[in-house]
Amino acid sequence: MTEAASNQRLRRADRLRSTKDFRRVNRTGAREAGPHFVAQLAPARDPQRPGLGLVVSRRVGNAVARNHVKRRIREWFRTHRACLGLAGHDLVVIARAGATKLDGHAIARELSGLVTR
């Protein structure tokens, strides 16, 4: 793996995994809603690394569809976190029904719009 590719990797430390982190973002974060996603942005637990948390319920679709949406959201976060100015913030993305119908560009457009508001 090249150095540029390893700098863009989404590491385990870049993900929010504990209930405590999700509750903190929910309690203290700003919330923006769109037709297919809700974005919650809060001050980060580690100011050097923005964290990403995903909530994709069964309403979105079956397991294959949910995993597909999660992969696309992670890809958007991995490629856009530097240019969005997310340093010092944790982001939780909640997918709504209909998110499976979007392609990668539509997901990126909607999420970028929600985060930059």
Per residue in 80-105, pLDDT (tens digit) is 887 877 778 899 999 999 999 999 99
| Residue whose entry in the numeric block shows the structure tokens 């994709």 | 56
Query: How confident is the model at residue 3, as a pLDDT?
Result: 44
Tens-place pLDDT, residues 15-54: 899 999 999 999 999 999 999 999 999 998 877 778 899 9
Q: Give the CA distances from residue 111 to residues 43, 93, 106, in Å, rounded to whole numbers and listed in that order.
A: 18, 8, 9
Give the whole-angstrom CA distance, residue 46 versus residue 56: 24
pTM of the predicted structure, to 2 decimals: 0.88
For 41, list phi and psi in degrees, rounded to 5.
Answer: -120, 125
Whole-number Å distance between alpha carbons of 7 and 78: 10
All structural domains of the chain: 3-116 (3.30.230.10)
Strands (DSSP E) found in 1-117: 30-33, 37-43, 51-56, 89-95
